[in-house]
Amino acid sequence: CLDSNGKVHEFSSKWRTEDCHDCSCYRDGIQCCSSFATPVGYDEKKCVKIFDKETCTYKVVEKHDSSKECPVHGWVG
């Protein structure tokens, strides 16, 4: 399989991309999906979501004090 970056992957292999997608190589092509969940149902006026590419996770914190996490009522992904 040839990925979008031009790298060759063996059949039945799995890898994680730089943008946090988990991919698998099959004889009929490549399949990828996001490896993270996106927060929904939080106070968007008071809080902001921040993505950490190192851990492939979001956290939701107050806009004016990023040391305070905000409650999240749902995740999609």
Read off the pTM. Answer: 0.73
Q: How many residues does the chain have?
A: 77
Architecture (CATH level 2) of domain 1-34: Ribbon (2.10)
Give, for all 77 residues of the chain, the pLDDT tens digit.
Answer: 999 889 999 999 999 999 999 999 999 999 999 999 999 999 999 999 999 999 999 999 999 999 999 999 999 98
pLDDT at site 77: 80
Q: DSSP assignment of the chain, as one string?
A: -B-TTS-B--TT-EEE-TTSEEEEEETTEEEEEESS-EEESS-TTTEEEEEETTTTEEEEEESS-TTSBPP--EEE-
As a whole number, the mean pLDDT across the chain is 95
CB 38, CB 77: distance < 8 Å: yes
Q: What pLDDT digit, counting tens, does each position of 27-45 carry?
A: 999 999 999 999 999 999 9
- The domain locations on the chain are 1-34, 36-74
Architecture (CATH level 2) of domain 36-74: Single Sheet (2.20)
